[in-house]
C-alpha cells in the first residue's frame, strides 16, 4: 500500500480496473497521479467511482495526461461544449432518441489524425437505471495472440485511416431496449467526414506503445480504410479478419458507469464500444480527450 492508499481492483482478465481512494476534487499530488498513471498503463482503462468534480477539476485532471485535444467535429458528431469550458464536450442521450449513438461500434478515437488521442477522460453526470455499458478491448492481446507468420506479415504494413469512416456506418448500434426494437434505418448515418475537411493519414498496422514498449494491433472498424499501396477490395478480407480478431470476448471487459464515475482509457492500445441499450432513459457524459505528443510509430 502506498501513502496514497489507492486500491486497484481488476474487473476482467484482459483489461480494466476500478480504482478507489483517489479524490479528484482535491489536490491531485504528483505521488497520487503517478499511482493513477501506473494503474492506467497496467490496466489500459481505469474507473474511479464516486467522484464529485467540477468542469474545472475535470480539465485540470485531464491536463495531467498531456495536451488537451481541440473539439472540432462536424455534424452529426458535433456536440455542445460545456459553457466556459470549450475543452469539454457533452454527450447527451435523451429518452426518446431512436437513432444511433456516437460511439456505437468498435473503434479507437480519431486515428485519422497525425496525432490521434492518447487518452480520453469521461465523467458521467446522469446514468440510466440499467444499460449504457461500454465495452473495451485490449489491442496488445490482439497482436500477441496472432500467429508468428501473421505478425511477420503485418509488421511491415501501414494503413490509411480516414475521417469519412468508410466501413463503419453499417455497423453502428441503434437504440434498443426490451420493449423497443431498432429499425433498419435507425443506425444509418450519411456522413462525408467527422471534421470540416476529409483527413486521411497513414499509421503502422503494428505500433509500439511509447511508454510501455509493448506492440499492439493498430487498425479499427471506425477509421481504417485500407492498407497503404493496396485497394480497398484487396485490403478488406484481411482487415475484416483483424477487426473480428480484436473484438474477441476474451480480450474485452464491459463496465456500467454509475453516476459520478470518471473513466480514463488508453486510446493507443484500446478499442471501445458504447452500447445503446437504454432506450427510454437519459444519459449525460462529459468528455475530454488528450492528444498524443507525436505520431504513432512501429
Instruction: Assign residue 272 the CATH number of its domain.
Output: 3.60.130.10
- Give the model confidence (pLDDT) of 148-161 as tens digits: 999 999 999 999 99
Question: In the chain, how long is the greatest CA-to-CA distance?
Answer: 56
pLDDT band at residue 172, thresholds of 50, 70 and 90?
low
Three cell numbers, residue 111: 486515428
Is pLDDT at 104 greater than 50 in this prediction?
yes
Structural domain includes residue 242? yes
Inter-residue contact 291 to 66 (CB < 8 Å): yes
pTM of the model: 0.94
Task: Please name which of 271, 220, 207 lies closest in space to residue 16, comparing C-alpha atoms.
Answer: 271
Please identify which of the residues 161, 203, 207, 287 carries the catalytic annotation.
287
Structural domain includes residue 296? no
Is pLDDT at 190 greater than 70 in this prediction?
no
Q: For position 20, what pLDDT does the model report?
A: 98
Structural domain includes residue 1? no
Q: Which residue range is the domain that position 87 belongs to?
A: 7-291
Please identify which of the residues 113, 203, 272, 283 carries the catalytic annotation.
272
**Total domains in the fold of the chain:** 1
The average pLDDT across 52-61 equals 97
- Give the model confidence (pLDDT) of 205-256 as tens digits: 999 999 999 999 999 999 999 999 999 999 999 999 999 999 999 999 999 9
Please identify which of the residues 43, 109, 266, 291 carries the catalytic annotation.
109
Structural domain includes residue 135? yes
The average pLDDT across 174-180 equals 86
Element holding 273 (H helix, E strand): strand 270-274
Structural domain includes residue 32? yes
- Total residue length of the chain: 298
The average pLDDT across 173-180 equals 84
Q: 283 or 73, which is more confident?
A: 283
- Give the model confidence (pLDDT) of 40-51 as tens digits: 999 999 999 999
Structural domain includes residue 2? no
Percent of the chain at pLDDT > 70 equals 92
Inter-residue contact 116 to 296 (CB < 8 Å): yes
Laid out side by side, the sheet with 270-274 consists of 252-255, 134-138, 270-274
Is pLDDT at 1 greater than 50 in this prediction?
no
Structural domain includes residue 297? no
Q: What is the distance between the alpha carbons of residues 33 and 28, in angstroms, rounded to a whole number?
A: 6
Structural domain includes residue 298? no
Q: How many CA atoms lie within 13 A of 113 on its CB side?
A: 22
Is 272 annotated in the active site?
yes
Is 287 annotated in the active site?
yes
What 8-state DSSP symbol labels residue 169? G
Q: For position 169, what pLDDT does the model report?
A: 67
Amino acid at each position: 500500500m502506498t501513502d496514497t492508499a489507492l486500491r486497484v481492483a481488476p474487473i476482467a482478465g484482459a483489461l480494466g480496473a476500478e480504482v478507489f481512494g483517489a479524490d479528484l476534487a482535491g489536490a491531485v499530488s504528483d505521488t497520487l497521479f503517478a499511482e493513477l498513471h501506473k494503474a492506467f498503463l497496467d490496466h489500459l482503462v481505469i474507473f474511479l467511482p464516486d467522484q464529485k468534480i467540477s468542469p474545472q477539476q475535470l480539465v485540470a485532471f485531464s491536463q495531467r495526461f498531456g495536451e488537451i485535444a481541440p473539439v472540432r467535429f462536424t455534424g452529426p458528431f458535433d456536440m455542445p461544449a460545456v459553457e466556459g469550458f470549450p475543452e469539454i464536450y457533452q454527450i447527451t442521450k435523451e429518452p426518446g432518441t431512436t437513432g444511433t449513438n456516437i460511439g456505437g461500434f468498435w473503434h479507437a478515437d480519431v486515428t485519422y489524425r497525425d496525432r490521434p488521442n492518447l487518452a480520453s477522460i469521461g465523467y458521467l453526470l446522469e446514468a440510466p437505471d440499467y444499460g449504457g455499458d461500454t465495452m473495451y478491448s485490449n489491442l496488445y492481446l490482439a497482436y500477441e495472440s496472432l500467429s508468428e507468420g501473421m505478425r511477420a506479415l503485418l509488421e511491415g504494413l501501414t494503413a490509411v485511416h480516414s475521417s469519412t469512416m468508410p466501413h463503419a456506418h453499417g455497423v453502428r448500434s441503434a437504440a434498443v431496449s426490451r420493449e423497443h426494437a431498432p429499425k433498419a434505418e435507425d443506425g444509418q448515418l450519411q456522413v462525408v467526414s467527422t471534421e470540416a475537411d476529409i483527413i486521411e493519414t497513414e499509421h503502422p498496422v503494428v505500433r509500439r506503445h511509447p511508454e510501455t514498449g509493448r506492440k499492439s494491433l493498430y487498425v479499427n472498424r471506425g477509421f481504417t480504410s485500407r492498407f497503404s499501396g493496396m485497394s480497398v477490395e484487396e485490403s478488406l478480407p484481411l482487415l475484416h479478419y483483424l477487426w473480428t480478431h480484436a473484438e474477441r470476448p476474451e480480450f474485452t471487459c464491459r463496465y456500467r458507469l454509475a453516476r459520478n464515475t470518471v473513466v480514463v482509457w488508453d486510446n493507443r492500445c484500446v478499442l471501445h464500444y458504447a452500447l445503446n441499450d437504454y432506450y427510454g432513459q437519459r444519459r449525460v457524459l462529459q468528455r475530454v480527450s488528450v492528444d498524443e505528443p507525436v505520431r504513432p510509430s512501429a
